[in-house]
Amino acid sequence: MPHLVGIPRIVVCGAVDDGKSTLIGRLLAETGSIHGDEATSALLPDGSLDFSRLTDGLESEREQGITIDVAYRYIRLPEGRRALLADSPGHDQYTRNMAVAASTASVALLVVDAVRGVREQTLRHASICQLMGVREFVVAFNKMDAVNDPESRAAELRQQLSHLETAESTFTFVPVSGLRGDNVTEGAHSLMRALASSSSRSSSHNVRHESLRLPVQVVIRESDRRWCAGRLASGSLSAGSEISIWPSGKTALVKNVLRAGTPAPDVVTRGQSVAIELDRELDVGRGDVIVNSAELGVSRAHLADVVWLDEKPMHMATSYVLRVGPHEVPARVQHIRFVVDLVAREERTASTLRVNDIGRVEITCDRPLLLDPYSLSRDTGGFILCDRLTGNTVAAGMTIHALQRESEVTRHEFSVTRQDREVSNGLRSGVLWLTGLPGSGKSTIADEVDRELYARGVRSYVLDGDTVRQTLSEDLGFSPEDRRENVRRVARTAQLMMDAGLMVIVSLVSPFRADREAARDLFAHEDFIEVFVDTPLAVCQERDPKGLYARAAHDAASQMTGTGQDYEPPLRADVHLDGTKSITENAGILVEWITRRRAGS
């Protein structure tokens, strides 16, 4: 729905079957906000009103007795004011619809079933509202007529929600009965009075961003004049204002400003639709943003909170389409900082996002994008991620701030170079990447190579899988996604060590070819040597030095490579070792190869 300036928007949310639709229906009926024919369609055989039918308009909603889509209805507030109610679905399958309703709301009416209590979906809806910038919450403890001790139950429910109260959020708690009508519209402390007060206060939260942001929606040509039209997302402007255009960076002065087709007499501000004429011809099109600030949140990378909405889990290797306004740009989730555990009330590490997860992520786009902090501007700080094949929305995102990435970071050129260190070491640095099944002998061979190099005075280091798992990758598991990230981290670490002039020996299962190829792509051809320690699975199982195969045999859910997960052997390894041969023989092959790498050759 379009943004309605000056009219409070109230999102009604909460878990399924907490009585939202019935409560809203009663609010609408008792405030005279429904028409006669609507009331007639909601009549029951005994002549009473089924209040839930006033908002559940879809046939499937009435058949199932649940809300699926978002129902928007105007409601009359005290003193003749109006508000727009958005009845959102409580079922976790339709969280995406609830998030859409919350994205433009200024007040949240959170309905809690006093009998069932606070549930995970209750907490999820409240958290989504907070992420979406809602600062005013009215919590209705519904069905209080079914509780033996309403006063103590209300106190208990309030305690369960106390962790959501922050300095930025205002919570008002109201006990009601949507079925009987208790405390819904009548009384000084009724639900209606609470909504009216919160709606009045919400206007003070609207203006946060002082910088000018005018997304251009259309360019109007009038004979030899061109007008850039759009709705002012933040800031203000007037005739004579100096502006610049993103992304071109071109500057100009505002020559004329029109509102509703007539010249604006003074300054125009946030939320007003305007058309401006510039003092010179510039190439301005739909999607450009007119700004007045040199400090723009323009970057290829951004930190953001996201709500994952797709049934398919998020994969960090997958390219999605990030959409903000008319702009579309390929983007990837580079890192998940944490996922919110709503029940335990804590942040936990994760390697993927699943449906309805709320997480903080680092996103990298293929080109720089203007995204302001969502807390300052919903219009220029919110985005969605879409599946590139289906076009389906998979996540809703709220920008926290821009991040620097390699394109914005200038690397310092230090005086001592890799070549200098290689001369000191007597050999060219490089990376030996040993891959093979668990128990194939990788670590033992790597240890023998390292020992022999040390004896010859060559500086080297072993990056062993178990050591890495206890340090650099202690936050990762053994899913394909986590294994991919583990390989990426090890490859980047090996890069730095190679630059330090070391001979780096990587001992890592790294079961997937694509991951190993991605690691190889980070190096020059002669600097990365893939070594396949080829040992039959039966031999590995017989050796089983760490007891991994024995444990996996009794665990149906094991992610052990070779049993629970496949191993993809190299098709064209640079060095192919027979893992059934002696450690000394295999290590000797690698040491001989290394010692041929003379510095400067």
Last residue of a domain, one of 291, 321, 346: 291
pLDDT per residue as tens digits for the range 418-427: 999 998 888 8
Q: Are 229 and 188 contained in the same domain?
A: no
Q: Is the pLDDT of residue 437 over 80?
A: yes
User: Of 370, 403, 436, at which residue does a domain stop?
Assistant: 403
Note whether 104 and 223 are same-domain residues.
no
Shared-domain flag, residues 191 and 268: no
pTM over 0.85: no
**Are 103 and 27 within one domain?**
yes
pLDDT score of 66? 45
Q: Is the pLDDT of residue 288 over 80?
A: yes
Percent of the chain with pLDDT over 90: 45
Interval 412-416 mean pLDDT: 85
pLDDT of residue 58: 39
Same-domain status, 258 and 391: no
Same domain, 348 and 481: no
Using the 3D structure, point to which of 291, 316, 341 is the last residue of a domain: 291
Specify if 366 maps to a domain: yes
Question: Would residue 268 count as lying in a domain?
Answer: yes
Q: How confident is the model at residue 2 (pLDDT cuts 50, 70, 90)?
A: very low
Contacts 24+ apart (CB under 8 A), 323-326: 323/383, 323/384, 323/385, 323/386, 324/369, 324/371, 324/380, 324/382, 324/383, 324/384, 325/215, 325/287, 325/380, 326/286, 326/287
20 within domain boundaries: yes
Q: What does the pLDDT read at residue 599?
A: 59
pLDDT at 272: 87
CA distance 221 to 170: 47
Q: How far apart are CA 128 and CA 135, in angstroms?
A: 11
- Region 433-455: what's the mean pLDDT? 95
408 found inside a domain: no
**Domain annotation covers residue 4:** no
Any idea what the CATH number is for the domain that residue 335 is in? 2.40.30.10
**What local confidence, expressed as pLDDT, does residue 407 receive?**
47
Average pLDDT over residues 434-450: 95
Who contacts 398 (Cβ-Cβ below 8 Å, separation ≥6)?
Answer: 131, 132, 133, 304, 305, 306, 374, 381, 382
Residue with tokens 């991040």, as numbered in its chain: 403
pLDDT for res 293 = 56
Q: Are residues 459 and 587 in the same domain?
A: yes
Q: List Cβ neighbours of 348 (8 Å cut-off, separation of 6 or more).
A: 338, 339, 341
| Domain count across the chain | 4
For the residues 565-573, what does the mean pLDDT come to?
90
Q: Is 230 found in the same domain as 201?
A: no
pLDDT at 40: 66
Tell whether 503 is covered by a domain: yes
State residue 36's pLDDT score: 61
Domain for residue 492, yes or no? yes
Q: Give the lowest-confidence range in 224-228, 287-291, 491-495, 555-559.
A: 555-559
Does the structure show a pLDDT above 70 at 259? yes
What Å distances lie between residue 600 and 392, 424, 428, 499, 525, CA to CA?
A: 53, 11, 7, 14, 16
> pLDDT tens across 59-81, in order?
344 444 444 568 788 888 887 78
Structural domain range at position 321: 298-403
191 and 112 in a single domain? The answer is: yes
Mean pLDDT of the chain: 86
Q: For the segment 294-320, what is each residue's pLDDT rounded down to a tens digit?
A: 556 688 889 999 999 999 999 877 889
* Cβ–Cβ < 8 Å for 214, 201: no
Report residue 126 CA to chain centroid gap.
Answer: 17
- 204's CB contacts (< 8 A; 6+ apart) are none
Residue 46 confidence (pLDDT) above 50: yes
**Which pLDDT belongs to residue 64?**
46
- Whether the per-residue pLDDT at 4 is higher than 70: the answer is no
Is 127 within 8 Å of 307 (Cβ atoms)? no
Q: Is residue 410 one of the residues assigned to a domain?
A: no
pLDDT band at 3 (very low <50, low <70, confident <90, very high): very low
Please give the pLDDT value at position 368.
87
Beta strands (DSSP E) in 496-572 are 503-507, 528-534
Q: Do residues 386 and 448 share a domain?
A: no
Which has the minimum average pLDDT: 175-184, 290-299, 368-377, 425-434? 290-299
Per-residue pLDDT tens over the stretch 342-386: 888 788 888 899 999 999 999 998 888 889 888 888 888 999 999
Looking at the structure, tell me whether residues 390 and 479 fall in a common domain. Answer: no
Of 358, 361, 352, 382, the closest CA to residue 303 belongs to 361
pLDDT at 183 over 80: yes
Confidence of residue 43 (pLDDT cuts 50, 70, 90): low
Of the candidates 168, 158, 178, 155, the one whose C-alpha atom is nearest the C-alpha of residue 129 is 168
* pLDDT of 205 above 60: no
- Assign 406 to helix, strand or coil: coil
Tokens (6 digits) for 452: 């022999």
Domain shared by 380 and 483, yes or no: no
CATH of the domain at 567: 3.40.50.300
Task: Give every CB contact of residue 308 below 8 A, 6+ residues apart in sequence.
Answer: 314, 353, 354, 355, 356, 357, 358, 359, 394, 395
